[in-house]
Amino acid sequence: MISIATDYQKDTGCPYPYLQAIAQAGFTHVHWCHHWCTDFLYAPSEIGQIQQWLEELGLKVTDLHASAGSEKAWASPREYERLAGVELVVNRLEMAAAIGCDVAVLHIPGVPDDETGAREYWDRVRRSLDTLRQSSEATGVRIALENGGSDGSWVPLKQVFADYAPDFVGLCYDCGHGNMGGNGLGNLETHADRLIAIHLHDNDGTGDQHMLPFMGTVDWDRLMGLIARSSYEKWVNLELSQSRSGYEEGDGAAFVREARAIADRLSSALDAARRSSS
């Protein structure tokens, strides 16, 4: 089983052509990533159509990237925006359950440096998470908080992991972000027991490039070993950019075929690491 994010070319508009290309390349699963950085609310008719497409193409869903939201933001200091952001994430939790996956990935903003700002930040973050925990329990979908592109992005993750149980909140390790942040793999090793989702892609350490694996400087051998020894029980999931991997817009089929070959390579490496660690 291997998975790729749906937004390898674009993350808005009709997703069907990308789902079709993914299925034709031989992927078994997708990471639903359309509209992840928008305020877009999925209607029941849209979710129903996506279910039909997935069934038609023989695809299943590894996990779903919940919306970060630009004006509907679950950690916003504006109360109406915070409440709207919670509703947006609830929409994604319900969608995740409907399309058959059990994890929704979520970004969490950084903690302010000043004491008053930090106190207010944690008040609204905890109020939002307390509400979202009810939806998580109702849908059976856990939240996976994603590390950002700096070592400081782990500060709020560590506090949330201390405050909330793993049956509600886990970790999504984005190895590209970790490669930019300096100690991503070290932090992953520390929190390997919370790992429930992965975003695999590459970069040269200077930016969030989402290139094909083995094009940059990610330490893939160490990463596969850490994943093998973690709580993560699923399969390889790629989160890629076609254009940043050197492919033109019209070369989508060729890009997805190469991504499939690399996913197979990583899958074999992960299987071997799991055998050696068992």
Run of H or E residues at 102: none
Q: Which residue has the tokens 């997708």?
A: 30
Phi, psi of 56 (to 5 degrees): -60, -40
Q: Are the CB atoms for 20 and 29 separated by under 8 Å?
A: no
Residue 278 scores a pLDDT above 90: no
| Range(s) of the domain holding residue 134 | 2-277
How many structural domains does the chain have?
1
d(CA 151, CA 162): 18
Q: What is the mean pLDDT of residues 102-125?
A: 96
What token pair was written down for 192?
């390997």
Q: What is the mean pLDDT of residues 140-149?
A: 95
Residues with Cβ within 8 Å of residue 151, at least 6 apart in sequence: 181, 182, 183, 184, 187
d(CA 22, CA 240): 12
Residue 162 scores a pLDDT above 80: yes
| Residue 275 CB burial class (10 angstroms; 0-12, 13-18, ≥19) | exposed
Would you call 158 helix, strand, or coil by DSSP? helix
Q: Are the CB atoms for 63 and 101 separated by under 8 Å?
A: yes
Residue 200 scores a pLDDT above 90: yes
Q: Which residue has the tokens 């109702």?
A: 138
Q: Are the CB atoms for 6 and 31 separated by under 8 Å?
A: yes
- Binning pLDDT at 50, 70 and 90, where does residue 182 land? confident
Q: What is the pLDDT of residue 149?
A: 82
| Residue 258 CB burial class (10 angstroms; 0-12, 13-18, ≥19) | middle
Q: From residue 264, how far is each of 13, 123, 245, 256 by CA, in Å? A: 29, 44, 18, 12
Q: What is the pLDDT of residue 193?
A: 97
Q: Are the CB atoms for 77 and 24 separated by under 8 Å?
A: no
d(CA 142, CA 236): 19
- Binning pLDDT at 50, 70 and 90, where does residue 249 land? confident
- Binning pLDDT at 50, 70 and 90, where does residue 150 land? confident
Q: What is the mean pLDDT of residues 176-196?
A: 94
- Binning pLDDT at 50, 70 and 90, where does residue 248 land? confident
Residue 203 scores a pLDDT above 90: yes
Would you call 236 helix, strand, or coil by DSSP? strand
Q: What is the pLDDT of residue 6?
A: 98
Least confident of 129-138, 147-156, 191-200, 267-276: 147-156
CATH number, domain with residue 45: 3.20.20.150
d(CA 236, CA 198): 8
- Calculated CA dihedral for residues 209, 213, 217, 222, nearest 10 degrees: 130
Q: Are the CB atoms for 32 and 268 separated by under 8 Å?
A: no
- Binning pLDDT at 50, 70 and 90, where does residue 217 land? very high
Q: Are the CB atoms for 273 and 39 separated by under 8 Å?
A: no
pLDDT in tens, 47-90: 999 999 999 999 999 999 999 888 999 999 999 999 999 999 99
Least confident of 34-38, 148-152, 222-226, 269-273: 148-152
